[in-house]
Amino acid sequence: MIQLIKKQLGFIHPDDKKERTESLCIVEGKVPSVLVFPLSMHIGAPAEPVKKIGDKVKIGTVLAKASGKISAAIHSSVSGEVLAIEKRQTVKGLAECIIVKNDLKDEKEVFTGKADKELTRELILNAIQEAGIVGMGGATFPTVVKLDPPPGDTIDTIIINGAECEPYSTSDHRVMVEYSDEIIKGIQLTRRLFPQLKRIVIGIEDNKPDAIKALQLASKEYSDLSVQSLRTMYPRGSEKNLIQDITGREVPTGGLPSAVHCVVMNTSTVRAIYRAVTLGEPLYQRVVSISGTPIVEPKNLLVRIGTPVDFLIEQCGGFNMPPGKLLSGGPMMGKTLVDGSVPITKGTTTINALTFEEAHVGNTSDCIMCSECLNVCPVNLQPILISEAFERGEIEKANKLGAMDCIECGSCSYICPSKIPLLENIRGAKAAIKAKK
């Protein structure tokens, strides 16, 4: 699928395929006439609708509220009217969504930001929660929970994740180049939450020299804030890898970064924090890369949450050949989309179209016990053993082998000469373990 150049233990180096979009400025995407808001576009409990069919909404109106500690509010990204609340195709499969008809007036709620001098820890956390911010690098964990770690987990290091190691993805890259000042302002707000903070590091892969330069310039007056250039390797951007690379600390199995006194946040998330706290703006739009060989004119688009994928592909000139596969995310960690009606959510970094050739991984054969999948696993799992346990229905064994620690980087599937669908099986094992619990 992607040509392997070289690998080292725990890492691989796929061709990053970023050249078609990495230098393209972000442009505002067109807005469709109907938008689809999944109630579950984050990790945790689905949001609970607070609007009903026929209700009028504006940009920023809360459509659904958080329904528990680990959940997030969802806001309308257009003005108009609630058309339906029903199941639609989403990146997580068929799921409950709120459908909004756009009246094309773009009326906004009044966004009230907080003045710097009135900001307290509680006000900052409340603003982040009310804005519905979740990890925008794809993890979609509610940010307010991440920024309020368990008592005893003191934070001395904030790591801003600008690695963006997934092939084809350039949305964070462009945000770093074009909105570096907003990222730094978001970091300055976040640091107030951690009185014992000693150090802030922005980690960026060395294939983005312009992003490194932009953030070095924007942060030059802060002596405890540094920009660290990271050697381009996959999956450099996984939380555990970043923490190890930057601090030398190892997150324990099943543990959170806060257990080793770190908080890791994606660059777009930090920018969203600035916009929520200072401008009062909820998370209703984000930057998405639309790329891949079958796309006529790839772009980095500023997209309203809820926009169907095929509407965006149309803005990129459509396809120059029938695509073999459509992914939300890149080819390593992305999820296959059943069709182009699936909407953009808070965690959509990239829409990637693959050719038939790229999508066809080849026929599966027996494991030849080459150990390659073990060598490349960045969290030291034994992917083949977990995969086999899942295939035999031995879910408890898969759990004991550490399936839940898998970060779903896809390196094992990518490297496997026998084309065994290791990631697919491990994802299946994780789902079965969760269901059992």
Q: Out of 99, 128, 409, 432, which residue is the one contacting ligand SF4 (CB under 6 A)?
A: 409
> Least distance in Å: CB of 385 to ligand SF4?
9
Subset of residues 361 to 380 that bind ligand SF4, contact rule: CB under 6 A: 367-373, 376-379
* Closest by CA position to 331, among listed 302, 365, 357: 357
Count of other CB atoms within 10 angstroms of residue 394: 16
Interaction between residue 412 and ligand SF4 (CB under 6 A): yes
3-class DSSP assignment, residue 155: coil
Of the two residues 9 and 104, which places its CB atom closer to ligand SF4 in the complex? 9
Tally helices (H) and strands (E) across the chain: 14, 19
> Least distance in Å: CB of 8 to ligand SF4?
14
CA dist., res. 155 & res. 101, Å (int): 44
CA dist., res. 196 & res. 176, Å (int): 27
> Least distance in Å: CB of 35 to ligand SF4?
33
CA dist., res. 125 & res. 146, Å (int): 10
Of the two residues 23 and 365, which places its CB atom closer to ligand SF4 in the complex? 365
Subset of residues 416 to 435 that bind ligand SF4, contact rule: CB under 6 A: 416-418, 420, 422-423, 426
Which runs of consecutive H residues, i.e. helices, occur in 256-410?
A: 267-279, 309-315, 356-359, 372-376, 383-391, 395-400
Of the two residues 284 and 390, which places its CB atom closer to ligand SF4 in the complex? 390
> Least distance in Å: CB of 405 to ligand SF4?
7
Interaction between residue 5 and ligand SF4 (CB under 6 A): no
Interaction between residue 384 and ligand SF4 (CB under 6 A): yes
Residue 388 φ/ψ, nearest 5 degrees: -65, -40
Question: Which string of b and e fits 175-207 if b means at least 16 CB within 10 Å?
Answer: bbbebbebbbbbbbbbbebbeebeebbbbbbeb
> Least distance in Å: CB of 70 to ligand SF4?
22
Interaction between residue 408 and ligand SF4 (CB under 6 A): yes
Residue 93 φ/ψ, nearest 5 degrees: 95, -165
Interaction between residue 332 and ligand SF4 (CB under 6 A): no
CA dist., res. 163 & res. 205, Å (int): 5
| Residue where the block lists tokens 């891949």 | 292
Q: Out of 381, 389, 401, 429, which residue is the one contacting ligand SF4 (CB under 6 A)?
A: 381
Of the two residues 39 and 251, which places its CB atom closer to ligand SF4 in the complex? 251
> Least distance in Å: CB of 368 to ligand SF4?
5
Q: Give the gyration radius of the chain's Cα atoms.
A: 21
Q: How many residues touch ligand SF4 (CB under 6 A)?
A: 29
Of the two residues 74 and 386, which places its CB atom closer to ligand SF4 in the complex? 386
> Least distance in Å: CB of 391 to ligand SF4?
12
Q: How far, CA to CA in Å, does 436 sit from each of 226, 272, 433?
A: 44, 35, 5
Q: Out of 63, 212, 246, 407, which residue is the one contacting ligand SF4 (CB under 6 A)?
A: 407
Q: Which segment (112-120, 318-326, 344-352, 405-413) binds ligand SF4 by CB under 6 A? A: 405-413
310 close to 341: Cβ distance less than 8 angstroms: yes
Interaction between residue 64 and ligand SF4 (CB under 6 A): no
Residues of this chain that interact with ligand SF4 (CB under 6 A) are: 367-373, 376-379, 381, 383-384, 406-412, 415-418, 420, 422-423, 426
